[in-house]
A and B are shown apart, each in its own frame.
Chain A
Amino acid sequence: MPSEKQLSETLEKIQNDTSGFIAASLVDLDSGMTLAVKASRSDFDLTAASAYNSELVKQKLKIMRTLGLTGTIEDMLITLSDQIHLVKLVSPGTFLYLAVDKKQSNLAIVRNAVNKHAAALV
């Protein structure tokens, strides 16, 4: 596992590659604790967002078990009226959470930036 400093540097690279970047965090799925954070807006509570999104991922995994789906989650996309939120599972126990401004970005940019740097988060 990379150090917190290395993780923060990777999040910074994602920030640099993503126009409209709002915030990103690497989150421990089990506990909801952030392993690294990066935010450009003061009004975005990244700690709370990360914790709640870990619940979201856990619920989705539960749904998949209930339905007998054997595949794995690659990512989860939530499109708000003004933001795009992407949850990318980078390992079975951690996920990357990224929020961007929809006006300044698009899904292709977001996915490209995430896929480019996700491997460095494991």
Chain B
Amino acid sequence: MAIIDESRGVLVVRIVYDGPALSGKTTSLRALARGVSSRVECPEELGGRTLFFDWVDYVGGLFEGRQIRCQIVSVPGQRELSHRRKLLLESADVVVLVLDTRRAEWDFALGWVRETVPYCRAQDPPVGLVLQANKRDASDAVPREEMRDSLNRIAPVAVVPSAATTGEGIREAFVLAVRLALDRVRALSATGRLLVGRPSEDRALELLERMRAAEDRAQPMNESLARSVVSALDAELTPWHQAREVEVEAAAGGVDPTDERSFVPDPMMPGGMIWPPVDGRALLHEVASLRIRPARTGRADWCGSGSGFRFHSFGHAVFADLPSARNDLIEWARQHSANAAHLSTGRAVILADAGRGRLRLWQIVRADDSLRERLAAAVGLADPRQVASEISGIALRLALARESFAEASVDLPCTLWTVAAAGSSRPNFVGLMPYHVNSRAPEPAGSALIERELTPHLRELRRSRVDYEEVGAELVSLAELGSSQAAVHWLAQIVEQL
């Protein structure tokens, strides 16, 4: 739906207020309209019930120099009008799901969440979702903790408490929705899919005409049926509610608790779940289209790689609640920041939905070439002197990296796989960032490190190259020529001992 209307110099986005009947969508829009000095248009309603949609037009804020025009619409909540709801959801840049949080309605509301979350995530780019937990002023409202627990079991979605009748929380939900809509606009823009032109529906009546035309084409809507829908609303809710309860119980009984949702990079995720806050989101946009799907390894870690990126999550980095997950995210982000001078660029730490209310901490790392790749290229060189020079350079860089990593506040493994092949005189760490302090043996230094990393490769070189003697002689000669670098001498000693 998002479109740049060049003739008016505005960006048009559509914010769709979704939710069950009587959850407070129209009341929310009325409160919002009062707050932004606008008015609600309702093309058709019956007995206070929306039959097509409510519409609020609001212009405010700036996006890349253009004013933002928000077409704010609410859907009809009755199940029998779900075809109209579907049509409106298809045009959404962000969805605000208004839920009735009173005890009697809560399970029913959760059914809508289960239905709407996958729909929003399946769109390309995904449509942002804000849960507006309404009727918080009711005496029988579900306690906040219980509400969050229930929602977290479905998905970690932004929740804004509200009381639409008093206007509390309405503006906060709207502001968050606009922000998510703009995230989607950025994703569309980055992939060249942001439309330019006049919006297909510029006014409420135009949208009404389009919806009627769509119904005429598909299945003409009998107005008397619509009326009977509204009058029979109470009877409608009960059986659906009961059916959802049965579904939920069945799902809870039949799912393996160890089962986890696979990681799918979501550039639309809330800001507090990504580090670095700005570059991390840009990285997510980059990797979102790569279709990398990590798999679980034998050590229970999750790994995935391809197209120049690696995704990884340690097996135990899964959390049952958002506060503890955020604490670990921030702690790990601090470690990354504190050691930025040692780390390769192109890294992000992400808190992602792991399913069943859990969150998993991921790292995404751009796969820069390591010394291992440089060594693989070196042993294929034809000239033995060049081979020796490269191996010598690799040993020097490894030793330098060990000295540099020793200054880091975390124990960075120093191997051929974790040291950058090229770059500054101070080699970067290109491996996966360690998570928490573990019981790894202390990293060797000096000749022990060179021996551990290069001896197997020198043995393989001796076995595979007919001119190995020339390579070895060159390595010894480099040391004899008076190199001041200790690593070159350690390498020569290894060659002589082989």
Chain A residues engaging chain B, CB cutoff 8 angstroms: 3-4, 28, 30-35, 37, 39-43, 45-48, 50-52
Contact = CB atoms under 8 A, between A and B. Distances in A.
7 contacts: A28-B334, A30-B334, A31-B330, A32-B276, A35-B330, A40-B171, A46-B271
A33 B63 contact: no
Contact of A52 (B278, B323, B326, B338): B278
A56 to B, nearest CB: 14
Contacts of B333: 28, 30-33
A39 B175 contact: yes
Contact of B277 (A3, A30, A32, A41): A32
A59 B323 CA distance: 30
A4 B278 contact: no
Interface string B296-332: 0000000000000000000000000001001001100
Considering the complex of A and B, which 4 residue pairs feature the smallest CB-CB distances, nearest first? A43-B61, A42-B178, A47-B271, A31-B333
B338 A30 contact: yes
Interface residues of B, number: 26
B337 A32 contact: yes
B171 A33 contact: no
B62 interface: yes
B193 to A, nearest CB: 21
Nearest to A52: B278
A48 B271 CA distance: 9
Contacts of A34: 271-272, 277
Contacts of B60: 42-43
A47 B175 contact: no
Nearest to A3: B323
Given A30-B338, A31-B333, A41 B326 contact: no
A43 B62 CA distance: 6
A48 B62 contact: no
B174 interface: yes
B277 A51 contact: yes
Contacts of B182: 42
Contacts of A40: 171, 175
B68 interface: yes
Interface string B162-206: 000000000100110011001000000000000000000000000
A30 B337 contact: yes
A96 to B, nearest CB: 16
Nearest to A5: B144
A48 B275 CA distance: 11
Contacts of A35: 330
Given A3-B323, A32-B276, A50-B277, 16 more contacts: A30-B338, A31-B330, A31-B333, A32-B333, A33-B275, A33-B277, A37-B271, A37-B272, A40-B175, A42-B175, A42-B182, A43-B60, A43-B68, A46-B271, A47-B277, A51-B277
